[in-house]
Chains A and B, each alone.
Chain A
């Protein structure tokens, strides 16, 4: 990859990874109405599990599977205490949980490498694909994964399962008296979303060939929220579009840096301010997002 392509390729890898990440949140928030402000925790759990196991000599494929299973399992378990509570408490619980995960990663150096993080773990087909072609391979790998996840989620969205999730989003009691086991559906939504987040976390680790606690700040969760809201809640295609729009904006404006008389650091902060402004304008004029349905708007 030469010239401008490496940059566009890199951006598209990030778009794919964050699309995967946000698709997970869309199952939880978009369809089931569950507020998860700790989505990044599952990114971390998946990536760390994969890397730690692999560095201990466990084959990469098995490490990946265990990482996905662990993240999904923890996600499902996290809904247990929340079942007895109102929805808002799930938000507090998840944000607390994600910070706990980050601090554990930062401080339990014997396991996680602490602030230095982990490197040296295997990457998929790492010995087969030449290093200079690896990003191109990863680009394909990420997007094939996104495509598979998208198709599977679309099927669910249009199925009776998706219908039950939408009914829970609106009125749990109605779903209950119509015979739907609401707790089971919430658990499934969390499990699915967490598996997708952990998959995204692993992809990010493969891309950097490194992982560290610095990747898992709450800001990452809010990227997922911005993507889902921007594209339109409960719309999987909208989520893909949202990821493209967010990364397109963040990466595109990077070129404007020389034109603006600000330090690079100030300019990057300014870009986030602009993203915030963009969201405010969107909420005013198109609260359902680019592809969302206004009549299905939850708030």
Chain B
């Protein structure tokens, strides 16, 4: 049986990954490859294991078995913070903006390789730290303007609306400068107008050559934004293909609506 694994070097490759919680097989021998430069969708009913798979891919959870490759490099046992260094970004389903940090600090935090994150540099090379901090701040301002959040830069992130928090998470991804972004429901709880705006941002990111894997429930958005769609149910990838083909797939309809 072809379960979807392929040997070529995609941006992200999940090979036969399984994760159990007690008797529950949350992720069950999953295989998934995301080609570089595409927006891939990951859909499936609630409890299908999408977020668990995301946690495994971003390194927050260790799989029981299977392997994860990113840009051809095995990362299965690499801690989460090192995956970020390899160019992997991730956003959360329920926005996890740092509510007690200001919007600007939320963005600045995401910049990589900061000199000032080391104590000895803060104490003994304050000049170099300040200089880099100014550059990071300029970039953060640019990102805020791009996302139309500039006026809110000094606001605590906890005071933003749900949609603005989603934008802030995208902003953090822009600061992180990843090559691959894992997005857990970037459109959940967002009003349609802002949803369109976020979709436009995603397409712009794709234009810059980024690869994205997006969990989404809104079928309309999936159809318009994604190049390829994976359907997950009960821990398994049950279908994959172009959005149009997926829409009419019997297994997918059954997973969502139950057997006829």
Contacts and interface: CB of A to CB of B under 8 A. Distances in A.
Interface of A: 152, 155-156, 159-161, 163-164, 166-167, 169-171, 173-182, 188, 192, 295-298
A30 B123 CA distance: 20
Given A159-B122, A161-B116, A176-B79, 9 more contacts: A156-B119, A163-B105, A166-B105, A170-B100, A173-B60, A177-B60, A178-B110, A295-B156, A295-B158
A160 B112 contact: no
Nearest to B155: A295
B129 A178 contact: no
Contacts of A170: 98-101
7 contacts: A155-B122, A159-B129, A167-B101, A175-B81, A181-B79, A192-B119, A295-B156
A164 B84 CA distance: 15
Given A177-B90, A179-B81, A181-B81, A156 B98 contact: no
Interface in B102-151: 105, 108-110, 112, 114-119, 122-123, 126, 129, 133
Task: State which size class the interface on B falls in.
Answer: 35 or more
B84 to A, nearest CB: 3
B81 A188 contact: no
B105 A152 contact: no
Contacts of A159: 116-117, 122, 129
A171 B100 CA distance: 10
A179 B119 CA distance: 17
Interface string B169-193: 0001000100000000000000000
Contacts of A192: 119
A173 B96 contact: yes
A182 B81 contact: yes
Given A176-B60, A298-B100, A160 B126 contact: no
Q: Which 4 A-B pairs have the closest CB atoms?
A: A179-B84, A160-B116, A176-B80, A159-B122
A295 B98 CA distance: 12
B109 A163 contact: yes
Interface in B182-237: none
A179 B112 CA distance: 7
A167 B117 contact: no
Contacts of B123: 152, 155-156
B58 A155 contact: no
B92 interface: yes
A180 B81 contact: yes
B89 interface: yes
Nearest to A184: B81
A174 B101 contact: no
A164 B109 contact: yes
B100 A296 contact: yes
Given A174-B96, A296-B100, A179 B176 contact: yes
B74 to A, nearest CB: 19
B122 A164 contact: no
Interface centre among B105, B108, B109 (most CB of A within 10 A): B109
A162 to B, nearest CB: 8
B85 interface: yes
B243 interface: no
B133 A160 contact: yes
Contacts of B112: 179
Contacts of B85: 179
